């Protein structure tokens, strides 16, 4: 033992340690340096106002990246190139972001940018998201970026202002939750089914106070888009962040992207990123083991993302007030199958499932088929770059020929604040992340599902196990 050995650390601990401007004390939280702040129109205006009120400047505009996604229409502009917003207020919010970014020297990817898109789709696509970074955004799905081995989490608007002014946050150190997922996925089972199964297993508040690290053979075998889907929904079990250690899959994805390091910087970055993994012997505060081989296509039956069943299972018994209330809202009867329920709307999109893999999977199932007569199908790519790539592959034709709507990029019906919404009482099969009451419109009933399950349900007009259509080929 000639060299002093470093204590074994988890991936989270390594990234946390690197960003400490000041350590936590008994009286004060840690000061954590933030490498990248992502901004959008909804949670930033009050923060910009606060800086203005105090006479402060944005400290590092070069560490900010802005886009418009939540309030924006997903219908194309008119012949004169004008976009038609749902309300004047929605347009005003976007206009204010333009002004704020211009005044503070922040790069905004607006309508004219080939990169514009949902903030959590655009960041990785541009290579802005990199291993070992701290990344924040006024959006709870910021955990998406953890797929690259970044510590990424959602913050409120007051904290958005803190980061604008100081590039730092006051943070108490969270606990760590290791989720080991082992085994090969069955046909028809995707990353979305895995994360729904995880949330169903640990519960809608099972991750509160923790940062999750996902690991194991199932995660290793996933491509980056699948890992993003998994990390994206960490907040739905209460965890602010979810992480995956970077590997060759990560490096291959990032190489050559516009904001990724180049040349000598690239080689140096890879050497550094390779150290970002949990050491043998390091331990998590809590460990959960998941057998991926038994996971089936998974769906929600209730009004929070923890209410999950396999698609072939019966709707569970309402044995407490929370479940009874959920069954009542969903107009479901316990003991009956969820599969076969008539579907009014299918939504394929959101920061969870709007990337190329998701669109390819949906298109693969919808090719040479027609969507059911009484079912409206909205397909909303996550970004301009994704839209162009999908169109180059002809996926838009497959969707349009099937009778689906192929729309412009944005958050759209995930939270239905841009005017894209369903009607009261509608049952929606949605690839988004939240099935809260009224999330997709007043009285709308949401079933969360994978792009494959959503596409299968679009074809039959009923909640459908995609395996059935994959087998028949009809």
Partner 1 sequence: MSHSGVVESRTFCLPVNNIDTDQIIPGQFLTTTEREGLGKFCFYSWRYDENGIERADNPLKIHDATSEQVLVTGSNFGCGSSREHAPWALLDFGFRAVISSQFADIFRSNSLKNGLLPVTVDDHVVEFLLAHPGHPVRIDIRSNTLTVEGFGEFEFPLDPFSAYCLTRGIDQLDFLLENEVEIGRYEQV
* Cβ 64 to partner 1 shortest distance, Å: 15
Task: List the x/- string, 320-349, binding to partner 1 by CB under 8 A.
Answer: -xx--x------------------------
Our finding on whether 139 is near partner 1 (CB under 8 A) is yes
Binder among 76, 114, 258, 424 for partner 1 (CB under 8 A): 424
Binder among 87, 252, 275, 294 for partner 1 (CB under 8 A): 87
Residue 355 DSSP symbol: S
Within 8 A by CB and 6+ apart from 47, the residues are: 138, 157, 158, 160, 161, 164
Our finding on whether 166 is near partner 1 (CB under 8 A) is yes
User: Which tokens is 239 given?
Assistant: 């965890």
Within 8 A by CB and 6+ apart from 408, the residues are: 72, 73, 74, 75, 76, 380, 387
Our finding on whether 417 is near partner 1 (CB under 8 A) is yes
CA distance 385 to 102: 24
CA distance 222 to 229: 10
Task: List the x/- string, 234-253, binding to partner 1 by CB under 8 A.
Answer: -x--x-x-------------
Q: Of 49 and 182, which has the nearer Cβ to partner 1?
A: 49
* Cβ 90 to partner 1 shortest distance, Å: 5
Our finding on whether 442 is near partner 1 (CB under 8 A) is yes
Q: Of 264 and 321, which has the nearer Cβ to partner 1?
A: 321
CA distance 379 to 381: 7
Our finding on whether 143 is near partner 1 (CB under 8 A) is no
Element (H, E) at 457: helix 451-460
Residue 383 DSSP symbol: B
Within 8 A by CB and 6+ apart from 312, the residues are: 296, 337, 339, 465
Hunting for tokens 């841009």 — which residue is that? 418
Count, in order, helices (H) and strands (E) of the chain. Answer: 16, 19
Segment interacting with partner 1 (CB under 8 A) among 153-161, 259-267, 368-376, 384-392: 153-161
The answer to whether the beta carbons of residues 347 and 430 sit under 8 Å apart is: yes
* Cβ 325 to partner 1 shortest distance, Å: 7
* Cβ 97 to partner 1 shortest distance, Å: 9
Our finding on whether 144 is near partner 1 (CB under 8 A) is no
Our finding on whether 156 is near partner 1 (CB under 8 A) is yes
Q: Cα dist. 85→2, 71, 444 in Å?
A: 67, 8, 22
Our finding on whether 123 is near partner 1 (CB under 8 A) is no
Our finding on whether 138 is near partner 1 (CB under 8 A) is yes
Our finding on whether 93 is near partner 1 (CB under 8 A) is yes
* Cβ 201 to partner 1 shortest distance, Å: 16
Our finding on whether 168 is near partner 1 (CB under 8 A) is yes
Our finding on whether 436 is near partner 1 (CB under 8 A) is yes
Element (H, E) at 253: helix 248-254
Give the three-class secondary structure for 202.
Answer: helix
* Cβ 194 to partner 1 shortest distance, Å: 21
Our finding on whether 205 is near partner 1 (CB under 8 A) is yes
What sections of 55-141 are H helices per DSSP?
A: 88-104, 119-126
Segment interacting with partner 1 (CB under 8 A) among 224-232, 267-275, 400-408, 438-446: 438-446
**Backbone region of residue 335 per phi and psi (left: phi > 0; alpha: psi in -120 to 50; beta: other values):** left
Strand ranges (DSSP E) for 385-463? Answer: 405-406, 427-430, 445-448
User: Which tokens is 340 given?
Assistant: 């076969």
Binder among 9, 113, 186, 208 for partner 1 (CB under 8 A): 208
CA distance 378 to 145: 25
C-alpha closest to that of 214 among 181, 168, 166 = 181
* Cβ 456 to partner 1 shortest distance, Å: 27
Our finding on whether 438 is near partner 1 (CB under 8 A) is yes
Our finding on whether 90 is near partner 1 (CB under 8 A) is yes
Sites of contact with partner 1 (CB under 8 A): 21-22, 26-29, 31, 33, 42-43, 45-46, 49-50, 54, 56, 70-71, 87, 89-90, 92-93, 96, 138-140, 154-159, 161-162, 165-168, 170, 172, 174, 204-205, 208-209, 235, 238, 240, 304, 321-322, 325, 415-417, 424, 434, 436-439, 442-443
């Amino acid at each position: 033992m000639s060299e002093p050995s470093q204590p074994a650390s988890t991936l989270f601990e390594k990234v946390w340690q690197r960003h400490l401007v000041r350590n936590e004390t008994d009286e004060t939280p840690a000061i954590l340096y933030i490498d990248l702040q992502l901004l959008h129109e909804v949670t930033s205006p009050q923060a910009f106002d606060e800086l203005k009120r105090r006479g402060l400047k944005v400290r590092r505009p070069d560490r900010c990246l802005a886009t418009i996604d939540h309030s924006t229409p997903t219908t194309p502009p008119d012949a004169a190139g004008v976009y038609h917003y749902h309300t004047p207020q929605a347009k005003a919010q976007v206009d204010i972001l333009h002004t704020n970014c211009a005044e503070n020297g922040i790069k905004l990817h607006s309508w004219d940018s080939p990169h514009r898109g949902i903030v959590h789709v655009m960041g990785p696509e541009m290579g802005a998201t990199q291993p070992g970074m701290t990344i924040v955004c006024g959006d709870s799905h910021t955990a998406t970026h953890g797929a690259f081995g970044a510590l990424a989490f959602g913050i409120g608007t007051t904290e958005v202002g803190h980061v604008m002014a100081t590039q730092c946050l006051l943070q108490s150190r969270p606990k760590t939750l290791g989720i080991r997922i082992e085994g090969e996925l069955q046909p028809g089972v995707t990353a979305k089914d895995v994360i729904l199964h995880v949330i169903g297993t640990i519960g809608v508040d099972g991750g509160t106070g923790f940062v999750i690290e996902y690991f194991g053979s199932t995660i290793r075998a996933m491509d980056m888009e699948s890992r993003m889907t998994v990390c994206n929904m960490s907040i739905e079990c209460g965890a602010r962040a979810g992480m995956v250690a970077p590997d060759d899959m990560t490096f291959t994805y990032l190489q050559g992207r516009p904001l990724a390091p180049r040349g000598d910087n690239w080689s140096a970055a890879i050497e550094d990123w390779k150290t970002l993994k949990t050491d043998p012997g390091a331990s998590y505060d809590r460990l959960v083991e998941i057998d991926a081989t038994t996971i089936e296509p998974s769906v929600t039956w209730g009004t929070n993302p923890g209410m999950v069943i396999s698609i072939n299972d019966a709707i569970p018994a309402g044995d407490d007030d929370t479940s009874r209330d959920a069954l009542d809202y969903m107009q479901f009867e316990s003991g009956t199958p969820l599969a076969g329920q008539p579907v009014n709307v299918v939504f394929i999109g959101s920061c969870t499932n709007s990337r190329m893999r998701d669109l390819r999977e949906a298109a693969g199932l919808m090719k040479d088929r027609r969507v059911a007569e009484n079912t409206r199908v909205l397909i909303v790519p996550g970004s301009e770059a994704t839209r162009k790539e999908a169109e180059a592959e002809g996926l838009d034709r497959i969707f349009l020929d099937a009778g689906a709507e192929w729309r412009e990029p944005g958050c759209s019906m995930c939270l239905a604040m841009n005017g894209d919404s369903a009607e009261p009482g509608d049952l929606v099969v949605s690839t988004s992340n939240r099935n809260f009451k009224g999330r997709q419109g007043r009285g709308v009933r949401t079933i969360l599902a994978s792009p494959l399950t959503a596409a299968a349900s679009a074809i039959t007009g009923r909640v459908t196990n995609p395996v059935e259509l994959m087998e028949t080929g009809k």
